Amino acid sequence: MMRYLRFLIPLAAFFVLSGFLFKGLWLDPKLVPSPLIDKPAPEFHLTQVSDPGRIVSREDMLGKVWMLNVWASWCVSCREEHPVLVDFAKSGIVPIYGLDYKDTRDAALKSLDQMGNPYQVTLFDPDGRVGIDYGVTGVPETYVIDKTGTIRFKQIGPITPDILHEKILPLVRKLNA
């Protein structure tokens, strides 16, 4: 009997393997959870793109749920994402703040003129210091930050209507409740 069982080993191993492959079909290999999730959002003191005289800091944002969208005028995927944000901003469900990453004021303002401005305020981060503190690996990236200044969600890559409706909206409702 044992002699026969031996020949079943490859088949059994394959079944285990295909079980994992099946599970793998619904996983996303690129989805790496940010170590910043559920941690306090890093400090920042940045000027606004439209007004070099006004500084916004992390403390100014406490007490409300808000979205931070990292973008740049030179970023192609941001153009893809931009109309989604402009559309979403009109609903007024959650304020969106921009972080203009490694950019120039002129180029950023020109882009916002052309494509519409979804942001309450756009923070200006020309050398990318704050972006690095937030663990930005590529633009665009988006964070949802709660009333206590804690990061609750991070999206790497463009926001799509699906992500907005399935992930961000329910989260924002929960945080505002």
Interacting residue ranges for other proteins, rule: CB under 8 A: 3-4, 7-8, 10-11, 14-15, 17-18, 20-33, 76, 157
CB of 8 to other proteins, least distance (A): 5
Nearest residue (CB) to other proteins, 32 versus 55 = 32
* Amino acid symbol at 111: S
Nearest residue (CB) to other proteins, 77 versus 120 = 77
Q: Are 125 and 139 in contact (CB under 8 A)?
A: no
Nearest residue (CB) to other proteins, 32 versus 132 = 32
Sign of the torsion angle spanned by Cα atoms 80, 81, 86, 91: positive
CB of 22 to other proteins, least distance (A): 6
Q: What are phi and psi of 114, to 5 degrees?
A: -75, -45
Q: Where does residue 136 rank: exposed (0-12), middle (13-18), buried (19+ CB within 10 A)?
A: buried
CB of 17 to other proteins, least distance (A): 8
Nearest residue (CB) to other proteins, 159 versus 175 = 159
Q: How far apart are CA 36 and CA 42, in angstroms?
A: 9
CB of 168 to other proteins, least distance (A): 17
